[in-house]
Structure 1
Amino acid sequence: MERSIETQVSQAVDAWLRWLPRWEPATHRGRIAPCRRCFGSPVLSAAGLGADVPHGVQHGLSTRIKTIVDHAVADYTSRNLPMLQAELDQQAARNRARSYRPAEGLDPEFEGLPLDPDPIPGAPFLFTLGGLAEEVDADIPALPPLSEEAKVALRQEVALADDYANMVGREVCTVLLHHRLRIQAAVSQYVEPQIAAMLEELTRSLDAPFDPNADPGLAEP
């Protein structure tokens, strides 16, 4: 029997809560471009994860919730939108023909993130994961072109799928509102102490920039 949206959201939040104690602040250089999945996400707003929460914490939950919406839309499409389903089936077969698929099979905390770090000016990469994947894509034949009538019909079905995704998304956000307290409690327990520790360490290093073991009071002018 298919699980309800409420059950799926509850299980996704449970899985995120089990993962959260393993989260640690990133120490590498941050990205310039915001995450398209998380920036301005109504899912994160419903969960109470604001801009003051680290992106890694946000992404782990938003990706799990997105999977619920994606599965619901996929089921709706398979039952009601034959042209769109045929197009998706062709694309899936094309994807399976790739010998190198670095973006597949990732944990929710990493799914949807860029494959490669932002480039450093003057220090080009010898190769990138994205570049290797593009080389493989170039060897796979493109999908057959559609007639104008087929394009119109396909756009109509895509619009229906988008409408259904928005409907499911609103339902998911409503359910998430009931989980806000335990989500925020977990952030207070596991995330905020680590952020506070980082800020304290930064304060100490600013007070004594040349000697991390020096007495902070000696750094005063």
Structure 2
Amino acid sequence: MERSLETRVSQAVDAWLKWLPRWEPATHRGRVAPCRRCFGSPVLSAAGLGADVPHGVQHGLSTRIKTIVDHAVAEYTARNLPMLQAELDQQAARNRARSYRPTEGLEPEFEGLPLDPEPAPGAPFLFTIAGLAEEADADVPALPPLSEDAKAALRQEVGLADDYANMIGREVCTILLHHRLRIQAAITRYVEPQIEAMLQELTQSLDVPFDPLDGSQD
């Protein structure tokens, strides 16, 4: 029997709660551009994860919920949108033909994130993972062109899929409202103490800008 949407969301939250104790604040330099998946996400708002929650914590939940929505839309597309399904099947076959697929098989906490860190000023990378992936993609033949009528029909089916995705998204947000208490409890238990420790360490470093054992300060 197919799992209900409520069950899928509950299991996604359970998986995120199981992962959360392993989360640690990032020590690398942050990126300038906001995450498209998380910035302004209604899913995170419904879950009660505001802007004060670290992005890594947000991303782990938003990715799991996005997987649920994507799965529901894929089922709807397979049943009702033959042209779009055929296009997706061709794209999937093209993706499988690539020799290098670094975005596949990632844990939910890393899906959708940039493949490479921001380069340090004046020190560009010799190569990047994204660049290697683009080279592999260029070796695969492009999909055959569509006629204008086919393009119009495909745009119509894409619109229907988008409408369905929005409907599922709203339902998911409603379901998430019932999980806010345990989500917030987990944030209080596992995330806030680490943030407070970082702030305390930062405060101490600002209060003592030099080595107290160094007698050279004026």
Name the TM-score, length of structure 2 as normaliser: 0.97
- Rounded to whole Å, the distance in 2 between the matches of 1:54 and 1:190 is 12
Change (3 A) 1:5 1:212: farther
2:106 aligned partner: 106
1:212–1:154 distance in 2 versus 1, CA, 3 Å: farther
Look up the match of 2:145. 145
How far is 1:119 from its partner? 2.1
Task: State the alpha-carbon separation in 2 of the partners of residues 134 and 94 from structure 1.
Answer: 13
- For residues 21 and 38 of structure 1, the distance between their equivalents in structure 2, rounded to whole angstroms, comes to 20
Q: 1:123 — aligned with what? A: 123
Q: Distance in 1 between matches of 2:15 and 2:201?
A: 31
Distance change (3 Å), C-alpha of 1:212 and 1:99: farther
Q: Equivalent residue for 2:194? A: 194
Matched, 1:165 2:165: yes
Shift of 1:156: 0.1
1:114-141 Cα offsets, whole Å, 9 max, x none, are: 0001122211101100000011111100
* Alignment deviations for residues 36-84 of structure 1 (CA, whole Å, 9 cap, x no partner): 0000000000000000000000000000000000000000000000000
* Displacement of 1:211: 2.0
Q: Which runs of 5+ in 1 are unaligned?
A: 215-221
Q: How many residues align?
A: 215
Matching residue of 2:77: 77
Q: Secondary structure at the match of 1:179?
A: helix
CA distance in 1, matches of 2:155, 2:195: 46
Structure 2: stretches of 5+ with no match in the other structure: none
Task: Output the amino acid matched with 2:134.
Answer: E
Distance 1:211 1:83 in 2: 68
Q: What is the root-mean-square deviation of aligned Cα atoms in Å?
A: 1.3
* 1:219 matched residue in structure 2: none
1:19-34 matches, cutoff 5 A: 19-34=19-34
Could you say which residue in structure 2 is the equivalent of 1:217? Answer: none
Amino acid at match of 1:8: R
For 2:149 and 2:99, the matched residues in 1 are separated by 34
Instruction: Work out whether residues 205 and 212 of structure 1, in 8 Å CA contact, stay in contact via their aligned partners in 2.
Output: no
TM-score by length of 1: 0.95
The equivalent of 1:132 in structure 2 is 132
**Alignment CA distance shift 1:212-1:125 (3 Å):** farther
Give the match for residue 65 of structure 2: 65
Q: CA deviation at 1:186?
A: 0.2
CA distance in 2, matches of 1:98, 1:213: 59
Superposition deviation, residue 25 in structure 1: 0.2
CA distance in 1, matches of 2:55, 2:100: 28
One-letter amino acid matched to 2:165: A
Runs of 4+ in 1 over 4 A off after TM superposition: none
- 1:156/1:129 Cα in 2 relative to 1: closer, same or farther (>3 Å)? same
User: 2:144, 2:138 → 1: CA distance?
Assistant: 15
How far apart are residue 212 of structure 1 and its match? 7.3
- Kindly state the Cα deviation for residue 213 of structure 1 after the two structures are TM-superposed: 7.8
Aligned residue number for residue 50 of structure 1? 50
